Amino acid sequence: MPATLSLEGLAAILSIPLGLAVGSFLNVCIWRIPRDESLAFPGSHCPQCNGPISWYDNIPLVSFVWLTGRCRRCRAPIHWRYPLVEGLTAGLYLMTVLHFGITIRTAFLLLFLSVLVAITFIDLDHQIIPHILSLPIIPIGLVGSLLTYDPPPRDAVTGALIGAGLVYLVAVYAEVAFQRESMGGGDVNLLAMIGAFLGWRLMLFAFFSAVASGAVLSLGLIAARVLSRKDRIPFGPFLALGAIVALFVGDAAIDWYMSLVR
């Protein structure tokens, strides 16, 4: 190891195994929280043969490759989502440490991003955003802004309130205009959480990115006859993706846009 390795470099290297381990735990949350199962008991087991998974078969990414994606006992395939969630979380952790350095803000953002990953995959599977993953996280975001002033506490509180109000208004409007449910209470909590962590400017950026990408993808899938107009597409994953884009490039994008209109 070179003697010149900086503390930042070391943190970036360590963020990868940390992200893999947290991603492995998020896989447990994604499977168990919507099924009202305990996160601690029983230990990891194969959903096919119910056999316990030993620690050496439960190492994120490594075990999946080593076992060639199959259970050691019954050879049932392990869902590709497990390594995907682990790799995705590790990638987000690395980006956050590289972008925000070793700061208190980074610690809060790692929690925020982990929750977004869990919400995304639960919403895709069950079309719900559990309250336990959104409501208690909102005050944590506000505490983070008090400690770091990034975003300033006033922007974080406004962000949470406008975020909740915005989804609520869109949901009421859609129900009156199209006689159908478009967004649910889970989306209200989720955008409030995004506002608490990112402030109102980046929250709006995340919301409009989500609406745009959601509309383009939905119309594309309907045109390709993969989906029909009656299918319900969860909005949570688009909000989560919008929040991640807003976090890393939102400020630069807003500044660039403002320089054009000025």
Contacts with Zn ion by CB under 5 A lie at 46, 48-49, 71, 73-74, 76
Q: In angstroms, what is the minimal distance from the CB of 88 to Zn ion?
A: 24
C-beta closer to Zn ion: residue 31 or 108: 31
C-beta closer to Zn ion: residue 46 or 253: 46
Q: In angstroms, what is the minimal distance from the CB of 72 to Zn ion?
A: 7
Q: In angstroms, what is the minimal distance from the CB of 58 to Zn ion?
A: 13
Cis amide leading into 60 (omega within 30): no
C-beta closer to Zn ion: residue 83 or 130: 83
Q: In angstroms, what is the minimal distance from the CB of 50 to Zn ion?
A: 7
Q: In angstroms, what is the minimal distance from the CB of 126 to Zn ion?
A: 23
159 contacts 195 by C-beta, under 8 angstroms? yes
C-beta closer to Zn ion: residue 49 or 172: 49
C-beta closer to Zn ion: residue 79 or 126: 79
